[in-house]
Chain A
């Protein structure tokens, strides 16, 4: 665990840069993490991020299949929004822990 300044706030993050406390998250933080990865966030991105956060709050497991069935995006669109890391990058930007799912 380490401390990182994101969007002017000092936040505890994991070694891989995932927020330790998801309640500290805000849209500015999301934008800054996304920039680091090389993704520019659109309203569609935020719909996915909020969906992931809701699922995590409810302690439901995250899978790309679940996101694909959410009605927000299909799996192909999810890959287009978060290239090369549909769950890994989206979780990081959403301020939730690194997903442990294999699917």
Chain B
């Protein structure tokens, strides 16, 4: 009943398509960085202006050394499954080599679905007009320099500057 009411209501309101998305990535696991990249690329493909801001551990996703070797958590991750669907024992996740094997498997499966490696994904986003930024505070904290970052990174900016880029009444900020 509730759903129906919402539908009726939305039909009477004029559609206002999204014009800009500003996505913030603060975590550096495969799934966090890819969630950001898929959403950013998807927005660019839809013709939506796109700004992406990488901060804290999210910087791993745009740091040359680490971006194509991201990892996933095999311990403390309740969604982890064994191949075949059985639950993944946390004890197993702590064994040497298990995490890199699982992360490698994830990357392989993504490649099969034509999901590109991180460096290429960043290129796809900027090719379509999206802009990638790094957080100044986090870059200083991790003692990184612009040359340590992917060439696709436009610049290192403060969060205040990023908010300035988020103007417009059809803009959404997404935090992954």
A positions within 8 Å CB-CB of B: 61, 63-66, 68, 74-76, 79, 83-88, 102-103
Contacts and interface: CB of A to CB of B under 8 A. Distances in A.
B45 interface: yes
B166 interface: no
Nearest to B124: A75
Contacts, number: 42
Given A85-B45, A102-B38, A103-B41, A75 B114 contact: no
Contacts of A63: 114
A87 B41 CA distance: 12
- Chain A contact residues: over half helix, strand or loop, or mixed? loop
B123 interface: yes
Nearest to A62: B114
Contacts of B129: 79
B41 A86 contact: no
Nearest to B116: A65
B46 A75 contact: no
B47 A83 contact: yes
A74 B124 CA distance: 10
Contact of A87 (B45, B120, B127): B45
Given A68-B124, A84-B46, 10 more contacts: A65-B124, A79-B127, A83-B47, A85-B46, A88-B45, A88-B46, A102-B42, A103-B114, A103-B115, A103-B124
B45 A75 contact: no
A69 B146 CA distance: 29
Contacts of B45: 64, 85-88
B89 interface: no
Nearest to A77: B127
Contacts of A86: 45, 128
Contacts of A68: 124
A66 to B, nearest CB: 6
Nearest to A80: B127
